[in-house]
Amino acid sequence: MRRAWIAAAAALAVFAGGWWAAELASGTAGSDESAMQVVEQLSPGYEPWMSDTGLTPDPARERLLFAFQAGAGALLFAVGVLWRGARTGRREP
C-alpha cells in the first residue's frame, strides 16, 4: 500500500510539474508555427493539403491538457513499475 501512495504522489508531482512547465512555455511559439515559417521560407508557393481543425483550446485549457497528459503518463509508468515488481515476487515490507 505504501508504494501505491508513493506512486500517486509522484503522479501528482508530475501533473503539477507539467502545469508549471506549460505555464513557463505559454509565451513561446510551438513547433507547428516554427515549421510553417521554415516551409514558407523554403517554398513560398506551398499550399497545405489539410487545414487546421479550428479546435485550438484557450491557454488555460491547453495547460490543463498538457498537465493531465504528464500526470497520466507518470501514473501509467508507476503502475507498470508496481506491476512488474509484484510479478517478480517482490513484496512490500
**57-91 pLDDT tens trace:** 777 787 788 888 888 888 888 888 888 877 776 55
DSSP 3-state assignment of 90? coil
Question: pTM for this structure?
Answer: 0.44
Q: Could you tell me the residue ranges of all domains in the chain?
A: 1-27+57-93
With 0-12 CB in 10 A as exposed, 13-18 as middle and 19+ as buried, what is 71?
A: buried
**14-64 pLDDT tens trace:** 777 776 776 666 666 666 677 888 888 898 888 878 776 767 677 778 778
